[in-house]
């Protein structure tokens, strides 16, 4: 409710656009089908009591995107550019996860943790690779990450070979679907955990402030004693952690890795989530919560279109239209114009008590 | 000097093969038959991986073959490789071309050199006289086999969720055609027809949205195994039974080993396959074990029913591990 207070108390925050987008989508769906957001409690085929419904599908389905968007926000803020290799890197992380699981004699809690740690380390190394190119060699982030974007899925292929290896284990199933006894999908819980971890990280360190200052003006930050190279590198390594988490969720959902399709095209959705979240794509001020809401907006849009039986080949086109609108409305130019317009209206009415949008 | 010697040896070998060809037939042969295979790389797909493995196991030294292979996705590299095999003096040239055009010159040269050409998996746009035979798949047949199986189930009503592969790909067109004909004829109802572009997660979302809408369905026709798995994951989460004795019939394609194991466990009902196994047919033709009246040989497509599938089928026909 904090965002709402901000919304009405003037000084429309960064979250205005994503929140308005979500509200509009909810209203649209409720008009279209009043039962759209109905949640049902039922038994799944494993005999667990679980929640199902469109709302659960949306929140659950957006999990990978939300996790990636958190890391992407940090990279965007620090470097003023985006990592377009997250999908390919997630395929690598997922492949490593499956490779380790398959080489273990039996899959138990320990091997799953080991596999995840291996995937995490590999993803962090690839993140560091991107980070070095960007931070040390000062290559444009999109160009630097283009390398991994191009070769990432080939690397993933080398790890496991051409077929689609599967892993079946109750633990993997619990990560990707439901933990027995908990009716909420596990990926949703993982997103919540990641969000809390980020909150704690920002609370106990000055990373948020440092990232922001590096993003706003790297040289000025350096003159103030902030190692901007390190901050940029760190943002990519943190994104690497997010990538491995997203890859793990993706693999666990089905207990299968298809290096060609795992989180395919997710990089574009991730960048969009960051943009819809009202973050400046040129670096500087950022809000991770905005990106998370952005991820849910994208997923809600997809599920809405599916529910309307729009052909999935057309979904991308419809999505593009909505997103163009959102991004244009959220652009500084429109915001400024809108702000001026509101100011004008205000001064005409001579009301000071209610400050409008800016 | 080395090259020259190799050439001479190859020439002698080729000659001796021709001389002993009749005698070698049937018995496995005492002389090695030199076979050059120009193929796409195994990394292309699970299909190709199985295809390459099949070639390697059939054209092995034990079976009296000397196998040389070249893998590329690029037509010009493939052409060069074929050229190389001709210069080397192989007896047989087996080709799965990256593109259908540009092969005239090379095949003519092969003919002049007395090298017999077999095409497999894919046709090439050349005159029939330039090759011995082409062992290819009939994609449309694969869909028909599957849909005929479905019709044989004699369900009272067919409410089908159809999850398509990447639109426009050969496999998608072949697997969609037969089902579309049923939709058009009204024998089956289309609950939803969506492409998931081979993406498992997307398939799951599509099925989820149908479940959430509350619409009734009793068949899932997914155009590959991965998407079928995605669809089944959605069913599992919603507590809908599937497979043999289940509410929903699950159909997949490709026959990965893991998918066939799902069939064996009764979780799925049907798995169709575009057979990657052409090596045996070609080997039989080379050794004269079989003859064909037509140049174009349609490779038999398989379809497995969960009720009749056996472990040995999985070992023989399953792809991957």
Q: What is the DSSP string of A317-358?
A: HHHHHHHHHHHHHHSHHHHHHHHHHHHHHHHHHT--SS----
- Cβ distance A42 to B239 less than 8 Å, yes or no, reads yes
Asked if the model's pLDDT at residue B274 lies above 90, the reply is no
Tokens of B153: 């189930």
In this prediction the pTM is: 0.83
Judge whether A253 and A246 are in contact, CB under 8 Å. Answer: no
Q: How does residue B163 score in pLDDT terms, banded at 50, 70 and 90? A: very high
Q: B200–A258: do the CB atoms touch at under 8 Å?
A: yes
When CB atoms are compared, the residue of B195, B200, B319 closest to A312 is B195
Q: d(Cα A114, Cα A124) in Å, to the nearest integer?
A: 15
Q: Which one has a higher pLDDT value, A266 or B48?
A: A266
Asked if the model's pLDDT at residue B97 lies above 50, the reply is yes
Q: Give me the residue from B204, B239, B321 closest to A44, CB to CB.
A: B239
* Model confidence at B320: pLDDT above 70: yes
CB proximity under 8 Å: B 35-64 to A: 42-46, 48-49
Whether B73 and chain A come into contact, CB under 8 Å, resolves to no
pLDDT of B11 reads 54
- Asked if A61 lies within 8 A of B212 by C-beta distance, the reply is no
Nearest to A258 among B226, B319, B321 (CB): B226
Tell whether A324 is covered by a domain: no
pLDDT band at B5 (very low <50, low <70, confident <90, very high): low
Q: What is d(CA A143, CA A146) in angstroms, rounded to the nearest whole number?
A: 5
Boundaries of domain holding A301 = 26-308
- Looking at per-residue pLDDT, the higher value among B225 and B274 belongs to B225
Smallest Cβ–Cβ distance between B226 and the set A164, A185, A307 belongs to A164
Q: If interface means Cβ-Cβ distance under 8 Å, which residues of chain A face chain B? A: 42-46, 50, 52-54, 57, 61, 154, 157, 161-166, 177-178, 185, 250, 253-256, 258, 260-264, 302-303, 306-307, 309, 311-313
* Cα B15 to Cα A329, B30, B84, B107, distances in angstroms: 77, 14, 19, 20
Residues of A in Cβ contact (< 8 Å) with B267: none
Tokens representing residue B58 in the block? 């059939």
Q: What is the pLDDT of residue B20?
A: 47
- A77 within domain boundaries: yes
Q: At what angle do helices A228-254 and B200-213 cross, to 10 degrees?
A: 60
Shortest Cα–Cα distance, B233 to chain A (Å)? 7
- What's the total number of domains in chain A? 1
Does A12 reside within a domain?
Answer: no
pLDDT score for B29: 44
Is the CB of A307 less than 8 angstroms away from the CB of B198?
A: no
A316 inside domain: no
CB-based contact A267:A85 (threshold 8 Å): yes
In the structure, what pLDDT confidence band is assigned to residue B23 with cuts at 50, 70 and 90?
Answer: very low
Q: How many Å apart are CA B308 and CA B210, to the nearest integer?
A: 30
Q: Are B161 and B188 in contact (CB under 8 A)?
A: no
Tokens of A140: 């444009």
Q: Is residue A222 part of a domain?
A: yes
> Residue A244 belongs to a domain with what CATH number?
1.10.3470
Q: Across residues B52-61, what is the average pLDDT?
A: 92
Nearest to A307 among B49, B209, B241 (CB): B209
Strand partners for B256: B319
Give me chain B's average pLDDT, please. 88
Average pLDDT over residues B172-184: 94
Report the alpha-carbon distance of residue A47 to residue A24 in Å, rounded.
Answer: 36
Task: Walk along chain A (358 residues) and give the pLDDT tens digit of each residue.
Answer: 444 444 443 345 788 888 988 999 999 999 999 989 989 999 998 889 999 999 999 999 999 999 999 999 999 999 999 999 999 999 999 999 999 999 998 899 999 999 999 999 999 999 999 999 999 999 999 999 999 999 999 899 889 876 788 898 999 999 999 999 999 999 999 999 999 999 999 999 999 999 999 999 989 999 999 999 999 999 999 999 999 999 999 999 999 998 888 998 899 999 999 999 989 888 999 999 999 999 999 999 999 999 998 988 888 898 888 888 888 887 888 888 888 898 888 888 655 555 544 4
The residue written with tokens 């915001």 in the block is A335
CA distance A311 to chain B (A): 6
In a domain, A81, yes or no: yes
**pLDDT value at position B8?**
56
Domain-located, residue A115 = yes
- Collect all residues of chain A within an 8 Å Cβ-Cβ radius of residue B229: 166, 254-256
Strand B302-305 with B270-273, pairing? antiparallel
pLDDT digits (tens, 9 = 90+) for B109-152: 999 999 999 999 888 888 999 999 999 888 888 899 999 999 99
Instruction: Give residue A331's pLDDT.
Output: 80
State whether B198 and A42 contact (CB < 8 Å): no
Say what the ipTM of the complex is: 0.87
Taking contacts as CB-CB distances below 8 angstroms, the residues of chain A near B43 are 154, 157, 162
Among chain B residues, the shortest Cα distance to A33 is held by B213
User: Residue B16 — very low, low, confident or very high, per pLDDT cuts 50/70/90?
Assistant: low
Interface test with B, best of A63, A159, A258 (most B CBs within 10 A): A258
The alpha-carbon gap from A53 to the nearest alpha carbon of chain B, in Å, equals: 5
CB-CB under 8 Å, B43 with A157: yes
Q: What is the rounded CA–CA span in Å between residue B58 and residue A155? A: 30
Q: Which of A261, A269, A318 to mutate to test the interface with B (most CBs of B within 10 A)?
A: A261
Q: Closest residue of B to A47, CA-based?
A: B239
Q: Is residue A336 in some structural domain?
A: no
d(CA A298, CA B207): 19
Asked if B226 lies within 8 A of A256 by C-beta distance, the reply is yes
Report DSSP state, residue B130.
G
pLDDT at A16: 84
Nearest to A44 among B199, B206, B236 (CB): B236
């Amino acid at each position: 409710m904090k965002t709402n207070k901000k919304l009405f108390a003037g000084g429309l925050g960064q979250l205005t656009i994503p929140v308005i987008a979500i509200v509009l989508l909810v209203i649209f769906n409720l008009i279209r089908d009043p039962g759209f957001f109905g949640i049902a409690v039922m038994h799944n085929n494993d005999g667990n009591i679980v929640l199902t419904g469109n709302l659960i599908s949306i929140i659950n389905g957006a999990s990978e995107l939300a996790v990636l968007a958190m890391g992407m926000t940090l990279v965007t803020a620090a470097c003023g550019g985006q990592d377009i290799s997250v999908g390919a890197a997630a395929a690598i992380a997922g492949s490593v996860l499956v490779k380790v699981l398959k080489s273990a004699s039996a899959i138990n809690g320990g091997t799953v943790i080991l596999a995840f740690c291996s995937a995490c380390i590999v993803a962090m190394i690839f993140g560091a690779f991107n980070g070095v190119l960007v931070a040390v060699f000062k290559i444009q982030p999109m160009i630097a990450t283009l390398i991994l974007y191009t070769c990432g899925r080939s690397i993933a292929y080398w790890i496991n070979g051409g077929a689609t290896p599967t892993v079946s284990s109750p633990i993997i199933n619990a990560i990707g679907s439901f933990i027995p006894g908990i009716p909420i999908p596990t990926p949703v819980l993982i997103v919540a955990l990641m969000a809390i971890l980020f909150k704690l990280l920002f609370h106990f360190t000055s990373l948020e402030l440092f990232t922001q200052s590096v993003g706003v003006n790297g040289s000025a930050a350096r003159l103030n004693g902030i190692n901007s190279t390190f901050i940029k590198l760190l943002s990519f390594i943190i994104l690497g952690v997010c990538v491995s988490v997203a890859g793990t969720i993706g693999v666990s959902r089905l207990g299968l890795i298809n290096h060609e399709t795992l989180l395919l095209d997710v990089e574009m959705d991730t960048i969009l989530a960051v943009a819809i979240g009202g973050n400046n794509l040129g670096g500087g001020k950022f809000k991770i919560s905005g990106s998370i809401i952005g991820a849910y907006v994208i997923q809600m849009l997809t599920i809405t279109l599916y529910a309307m039986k729009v052909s999935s080949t057309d979904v991308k086109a419809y999505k593009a239209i909505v997103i163009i609108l959102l991004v244009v409305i959220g652009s500084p130019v429109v915001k400024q114009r809108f702000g001026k317009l509101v100011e004008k209206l205000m001064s005409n009415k001579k009301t000071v008590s209610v400050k409008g949008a800016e | 000097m080395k090259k020259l010697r190799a050439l001479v040896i190859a020439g002698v070998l080729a000659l001796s093969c021709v001389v002993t060809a009749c005698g070698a037939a049937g018995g496995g042969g005492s002389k090695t038959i030199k076979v050059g295979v120009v193929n796409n790389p195994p990394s292309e797909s699970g299909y190709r991986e199985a295809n390459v493995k099949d070639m390697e196991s059939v054209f092995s030294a034990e079976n009296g073959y000397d196998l040389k292979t070249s893998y590329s996705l690029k037509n010009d590299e493939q052409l060069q490789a074929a050229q190389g095999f001709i210069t080397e003096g192989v007896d047989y040239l087996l080709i799965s071309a990256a593109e259908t055009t540009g092969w005239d010159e090379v095949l003519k040269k092969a003919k002049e050199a007395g090298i017999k050409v077999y095409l497999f998996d894919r046709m090439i746009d050349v005159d029939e006289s330039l090759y011995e035979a082409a062992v290819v798949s009939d994609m449309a047949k694969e869909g028909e086999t599957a849909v005929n199986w479905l019709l044989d189930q004699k369900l009272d009503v067919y409410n089908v969720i159809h999850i398509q592969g990447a639109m426009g790909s050969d496999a998608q067109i072949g697997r969609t055609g037969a089902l579309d004909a049923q939709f058009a004829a009204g024998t089956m109802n289309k609950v939803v027809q969506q492409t998931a572009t081979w993406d498992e997660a997307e398939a799951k979302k599509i099925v989820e949205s149908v479940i959430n809408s509350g619409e009734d369905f009793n068949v899932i026709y997914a155009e590959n195994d991965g998407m079928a798995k995605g669809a089944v994951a959605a069913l599992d989460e919603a507590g809908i039974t599937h497979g043999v004795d289940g509410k929903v019939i699950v159909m997949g394609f490709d026959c990965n080993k893991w998918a066939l194991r799902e069939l064996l466990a009764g979780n799925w009902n049907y798995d169709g396959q575009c057979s990657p196994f052409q090596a045996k047919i070609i080997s039989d033709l080379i050794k004269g074990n079989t003859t064909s009246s037509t140049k174009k040989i349609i490779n038999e497509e398989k379809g497995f029913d969960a009720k009749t599938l056996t472990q040995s089928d999985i070992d023989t026909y399953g792809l991957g591990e």
